[in-house]
Amino acid sequence: MTFRIRLRGARCLTGPGATIPAGHKVGLVGRNGTGKTTLFRLIRGELTLDGGTISLPQRARIGGVAQEVPANEVSLLNTVLAADTERAALMAEAETATDPGRIAEVQTRLADIDAWSAEARAASILKGLGFDHAEQQMPCSDFSGGWRMRVALAGVLFAQPDLLLLDEPTNYLDLEGALWLESYLAKYPHTVIIISHDRGLLNRAVGAILHLEERKLTFYQGPYDQFARQRAEQRAVQAAMARKQQARKDHMQSFVDRFRAKASKAKQAQARLKMIEKMDMIAAPEEIARRVFSFPQPEELSPPIIAIENGTTGYGETEILRKLDLRIDHDDRIALLGKNGQGKSTLSKLLSDRLPLMSGKMTRSNKLRIGYFAQHQVDELFIDETPLQHLQSARPGVLPPKLRAQLAGFGLGADQAETEVGRLSGGQKARLSLLLATLDAPHLLILDEPTNHLDIESREALVEALTAYSGAVILVSHDMHLLNMVADRLWLVSDGSVKPFEDDLEAYRKVLLSVDKPARTPKAEKAEKAKSEKPKRAPRDHILALRAEVRKCEERVEKITSMHEILSKKLADPLIYEAGRASELEQWNRKFAEVEKGMARAEKLWMAALEKLEAAEA
């Protein structure tokens, strides 16, 4: 059984289309605006095809999350149970049926679809998406739109359609919910197509990628990272072939231009001219637009920039976090872990001076500047003002050319600078909010779900910008790839406290996905035992010096890697292998060998520095 998309001649798609084997989990990827959501609407029948076909298995059920569930008085659990319409109808009929034959049919069918375990399955899905037992009994009207979107997702997962279509499902989930969804989808018994920019999801939950580019669908086996490698290789081959063909064309054109007017060579010139006209030129791949973030760099402050001793914070008289003993230095990269509602946002507000300390002591550097980005700020932009007007309000007196340059540094070009915010895409709004949060070159940047609405290229650009940023970073995100690439410290917010998580993100992921297991890993237990033995701790200044050495080694590796890439491109150029250039080729090969040796030495020094730092911090 297969699922086929063949849309040759349709307005949104051309080409032969794609065939997806039944039961496959597929990630649908492509740059913003290529038509991914339009394709979903075509599959669901919400738009009419003007060419091509979409072939589904006979009587296939299609499901997806179109909107949040209504804010009514029905409990979350009953809302999810009602999503399986066949079960709901049979259960209602079982209450009223009087014909013995029909009663037997209904009961047999209820047994076939495992109706009696439905409540337990629905409760399990709701729990995975962040609702405890008490919340599952509460009415939908008690929850905000974002939480009701989770209920809608729980409903479609419970109904188990034959083809499940999910459009950016992790945008309204926290890290715990996103990791649970990854695990659930990997075991889902039917076909799934997911539009997502989350590399972790696309690497762990799917086994194939459906790429939409220039109105053409291409099916790739394997997760996202494998697709990205294949795609890069294809583009490199296509570019090389295009260059080679263009060089041949230029050579023939040069002959035509030289000898067209010469009688003895005229026929040969005409023959080459005809060859040029008949050439089917290979199109060079389009250059991918560079997505950038240019964070201004702050001056360095003496550590710590923030220190809290025995602190307590909360709202009004209600204490949320207690016994806080925390320290943040100017080069820290900290990810906040913990389930929704445990206090991650509360801690972010405390650190950003948006919430007071109820008791205890907090010290800050006198010149400390803090940048704060939260997802709700994107929705608080003035929709009838342009990005340029937003900057002019924040920086009165600064000349427009300088403000335009700052917008360009965040990927908002001349056109977007003069476009009303209400007409910008979600990603463009997020870029503007990030720019406003970093205008003052903050020493501490607090980011709460910064990747929502950003495509994969923009997320990679954000990783690069945060890596180059010299200030401290506090991250709350469901994007495991971002956390893995940026964070070097993990804080677990749970049970009213904030403690270092002594293991890595993969261990945390396993803890979350394990059932009825304590949230302690062998490494955490080992660290706790070592702590009780009170080992001698490395001086803080020594640790800071080691961190600086690691950064220097990393920068050295990056420089040599850049040089290695330049030489690799040079040696991949077919022209250098032409006759008469042997000495030049030998020279480039010698340089390449030297760089490779240098890279090996630099990586060895880098690893040694990292080991010293890890030993000192342990």
Taking only Cα atoms into account, the Rg of the chain, rounded to an integer number of angstroms, comes to 29
Is CATH 3.90.1150.10 what the domain over 306-501 is classified as, yes or no? Answer: no
CB count within 10 Å of CB 233 equals: 10
Looking at residue 357, what is its pLDDT?
Answer: 94
Q: Would the pTM of this model clear 0.75, i.e. be above it?
A: no
Q: Distance from CA of residue 595 to its chain's centroid? A: 33
**Closest to 242 in 3D by CA, of 287, 273, 290, 288:** 287
Please give the Cα distance from 41 to 48 (Å, whole number): 9
Contact present, 204 and 100 (Cβ < 8 Å)? no
Question: Cβ neighbours of residue 443 under 8 Å, at least 6 residues apart?
Answer: 298, 299, 301, 305, 330, 365, 367, 368, 369, 370, 471, 472
Find the helix packing angle between 400-408 and 426-438, rounded to 10°. Answer: 120
Q: Look up tokens 């010293």; give the residue.
A: 612
What pLDDT, on a 0 to 100 scale, did the predictor assign at position 261?
73
Per DSSP, 169 falls in state G
Q: Please tell me the CATH code under which domain 1-61+161-222 is placed.
A: 3.40.50.300
119 exposed, middle or buried (CB, 10 Å; 0-12, 13-18, 19+)?
middle
Instruction: Give yes or no for a contact between 456 and 61, defined as CB atoms under 8 angstroms apart.
Output: no
With a CB cutoff of 8 Å and minimum separation 6, the contacts of 107 are: 94
Read off the DSSP letter of residue 441: -
Residue 13 pLDDT:
59
CA distance 113 to 211: 35
Q: Which residues contact 475 (CB under 8 A, 6 or more apart)?
A: 333, 334, 335, 336, 447, 450, 482, 483, 486, 487
Contacting residues for 133 by C-beta, under 8 A, at least 6 apart = 123, 127
For the chain, the structural domain boundaries read 1-61+161-222, 70-156, 229-278, 306-501, 540-617
Distance from C-alpha of 453 to C-alpha of 167, rounded to nearest angstrom: 12
C-beta atoms surrounding 469 within 10 Å: 21
Q: How far apart, in Å, are the Cα atoms of 67 and each of 59, 147, 430?
A: 24, 12, 22
CB of 27 closer than 8 Å to CB of 202: yes
Q: State whether residue 99 is helix, strand or coil.
A: coil
Determine the Cα–Cα distance for residues 82 and 34; give it in Å rounded to an integer. 35
For residues 18 and 216, give the distance between their C-alpha atoms in angstroms, rounded to a whole number. Answer: 9
Q: What is the pLDDT of residue 332?
A: 93
Helix, coil or strand: residue 572: coil
Q: Which two tokens stand for residue 506?
A: 């993969």
CA distance 77 to 81: 6
* 357: helix, strand or coil: strand
Residue 59 φ then ψ, to 5°: 60, 25
Phi, psi of 75 (to 5 degrees): -70, 160
Residues of the chain with pLDDT under 50: 7-10, 515-537
> Same CATH fold, 306-501 and 1-61+161-222?
yes
The reported pLDDT for the residue numbered 540 is 57
| Contact by Cβ (8 Å): 292, 462 | no
